[in-house]
Structure 1
């Protein structure tokens, strides 16, 4: 099957209307930027003295370590930045990727922060966890925008090497004078809104066309990009999915007929994609999707009745985000959303009406509640996220006298729809302090 799969993957690439490249650590490591390695290169870049002094095991810890002074922190950041970013040279893997993309419309969706795609000339890139060559104001990250950091990193590096680096040399906001910090995922992270809009325009333009998703080095546990990109393929029957990740391939049943996995190095898979000829990689797929049995009208009616227990007066709208459908549920005092969980994590958002109270029970035995609304003085928030496996029940608070609350959530387009409810006896043992709440909102 390997020879046929490689030839077919090459044909998918040739016939694609557009290419969506998704990339994570596996691609960075192929290029030599290994955030997790404890090796000779770590000591060469950061310095043997600093690595030993702070017992730094890898680059990711070096960048996030709580150093005794800002000078020491920026000294390390500048050494990493000067070597891996300011002196970046296009790797053979990046050259092959540019050849694979060719003249086709493309976008790159990545959790990598080293900015290598842009440095190699691939500017249609959305970096969802930040950019190590950007900074934000530590006091006013939302208001004061994003600052370029490349030249400042070089300046800090030069002074560090000369032994003249002081706190006066560190980057500050030109609007208020507050210290700058790297624009990396966290409380102050600012995503590039212009690129986000362009990415959304790209998805809207090609989501119903012959789109090829090319996934590079994303492990099955990294769901930030992997899950929604697979959901995007599931929703678009004209699209195809190629994943490259040695030893760890995850292809859901819903898209197996339009997916090929390369369990090989990225370099080898690239050569095969470019030539259409097998050169020793191990491939998986495509496979026929087994049809799901059709529900009878009676079964559909029963399913609808059960859905109303967990999503009262719900409506599913057309998708506005890749791979998801927004679901709106309207709850009142007589129709709360009862305790349940689903296979995926969920974002819950207040829309309008009264504030709502979300009761959350984690698998670790923790109970907490979230008030969804717009009145911050009452501790209300506009939205929050629950991890997979969290049992949730939501009820209206009747705070404004409206009589109902409308809440929205996203459901993946390739979800199987399974809803799980807790066993009442076991749940009461785990959460005895919430007995009244559980007995009122659990399905008997």
Structure 2
């Protein structure tokens, strides 16, 4: 139904009150920036540093632990000068601006290249920062975010001239400590002004005719994809168009308001702008199949089972668009039994005793995490469990509180199905953890 999809997608765009654009690596690759490629361009950009440090791609070059600060900033400057300071607006970006037109919009992206703002799309929330920003290496929270555009150009010029020295390394103007790129890591600082603007945009438009336009986000990249699909699921007025060649994922619950383009961004944009088919492979929209209603007895049984996996739980309105955080309390008599859900989950310590999370992965790895605030005991405030990981949570009862409160998030766009392992098979895979598995196996309902 390619022709119908193109016409419908154009209609959704025309009738939208606002557009939320979400984007990841696929859009950057379309523009010519492939963080993962090992090709001629890598050597063109990084030069001698490729062989000197055996750098396989740009992503590695940005995160590599260089033995000296000069080479680190040489690498940064060569990459950012090439892809940032020399950026020229592409046809894809020009088409995107035509799609947005004069509508209210926001860009929500995990791309660090800053291309959207360089192209004049200033309502942008870069969830993982951008490489034009730096933070103080000693006081990242206290000393704020520094802009690096001009300094990067200066470093690049001196690098090319062979005159770069230690004195040229960017330093904090408040304490003199070296600056670090403000990219994901322990000291990463979210741009609070952009975050506030993004939250305001969602609050103002989540009950209006909002269109979510997703560009180059694969099914495995859930950082933006999952909450944006949850946002779509939260209101019948929101439509969803996703473009990702070769890999599409649209949950059943939103298929009636979704169109997927398994096509290049250029071809998909032509269809969105004209409402005509240019041969793009599409999916949807499809009628959502109604689910059978549970009887009161079935609801009661379901609730009883839920308590095995989420003891004493409650659900609240989410911080992220369309998400619902769940708070659960485990104690000696009510641990969270072994289970997994459709998506990966972030687990966070809230209050009470520390908690131990037992994790069994699909790759045959067992590990445990202590959630708490005491770093001397190896405790962490939060962590992420990959999709398919079976988890169980116990209260440590080491602070005398008697319970641990833990929080996670429920993906509202999933079926909500909870999967439990076959205990005999799990013991075969993890014989050393037999006692843990048997203790935290789901008892008969």
- Range class of TM-score, shorter chain: over 0.9
- Aligned partner of 1:352 in structure 2 is 351
Aligned mates of 1:46, 1:214 — CA distance in 2: 34
Aligned-pair CA distance for 1:8: 0.8
Deviations 1:414-438 (A, max 9, x none): 1212212222223233333333332
What's 1:308 paired with? 307
Indicate the residue corresponding to 1:209 in structure 2. 208
Q: 1:365, 1:43 → 2: CA distance?
A: 38
Cα distance, 1:354 vs structure 2 = 3.3
Q: What value does the CA root-mean-square deviation take over the aligned residues?
A: 2.0
**1:408 positional shift:** 1.9
The alpha-carbon deviation at position 318 of structure 1 amounts to 2.7
Give the superposition deviation at 1:255: 1.2
Give the corresponding residue for 2:35. 35
3-state SS, counterpart of residue 181 of structure 2: strand
Query: Unpaired runs of 5+ in structure 2?
Result: none
Partner residue in 1 for 2:4: 4
- The aligned counterpart of 1:15 is 15
The equivalent of 1:261 in structure 2 is 260
Unpaired runs of 5+ in structure 1? Answer: none
CA deviation after TM superposition for structure 1 residue 240, in Å: 0.5
Work out the CA distance in 1 between the residues paired with 2:380 and 2:56.
38
TM-score norm. by structure 2 comes to: 0.93
Partner of 1:131: 130
Contact 2:352–2:404, Cα closer than 8 Å, also in 1: yes
Deviates more, 1:157-166 or 1:378-387: 378-387
Aligned counterparts of 1:177 and 1:407: Cα–Cα separation in 2: 40
SS at match of 2:332: coil
* CA distance in structure 2 between the partners assigned to 1:5 and 1:65 by the alignment: 44
Q: Verify the 8 A CA contact 2:340 2:419 in the aligned structure 1.
A: yes
- Residues 89-137 of structure 1 deviation map (CA, whole Å, 9 limit, x = unaligned): 2112111111111121111111111101111111111112220111122
1:421 aligns with 2:427: no
Shift in CA distance, 409/264, structure 1 to aligned 2, threshold 3 Å? same
Offset, 1:187: 2.4
In the alignment, is residue 368 of structure 1 matched against residue 362 of structure 2? no
Can you list the C-alpha shifts for 1:251-297, whole angstroms capped at 9, x where unaligned?
22111111111222212222221221222322221111111111122
Distance in 1, matches of 2:123 and 2:15, equals: 21
Q: Is it true that 1:387 corresponds to 2:386 in the alignment?
A: yes
Distance 1:36 1:393 in 2: 35
Q: Which residue of 2 aligns with 1:59?
A: 58
Distance 1:120 1:138 in 2: 30
How far the C-alpha of 1:359 sits from its partner, in A, is: 2.5
Partner of 1:102: 101
Q: Relative to 1, partners in 2 of residues 1:61 and 1:335: Cα closer, same or farther, differing over 3 Å?
A: closer
Deviation at 1:168, TM superposition (A): 1.6
Query: Would you say the 8 A contact 2:23–2:109 is kept in 1?
Result: yes
Question: For the structure 1 residues 284 and 365, does the alpha-carbon distance in structure 2 shift closer, same or farther, using more than 3 Å as the test?
Answer: closer
Counterpart residue number, 1:412 = 411
**Structure 2 Cα separation of the partners of residues 61 and 71 of structure 1:** 17
Equivalent residue, structure 2, for 1:236: 235
SS at 1:173 equivalent: coil
Alignment check: 8 A CA contact 2:251 2:414 kept = no
Q: Distance in 2 between matches of 1:181 and 1:105?
A: 34
| TM-score calculated relative to the size of structure 1 | 0.93
Counterpart position of 1:142: 141
Change (3 A) 1:367 1:269: closer
Structure 2 vs 1, CA of residues 80 and 402 (structure 1 numbering), >3 Å: closer, same or farther?
closer
Q: Does 1:441 align with 2:408?
A: no
SS of structure 2 residue aligned to 1:184:
coil
Q: Aligned residues, how many?
A: 443
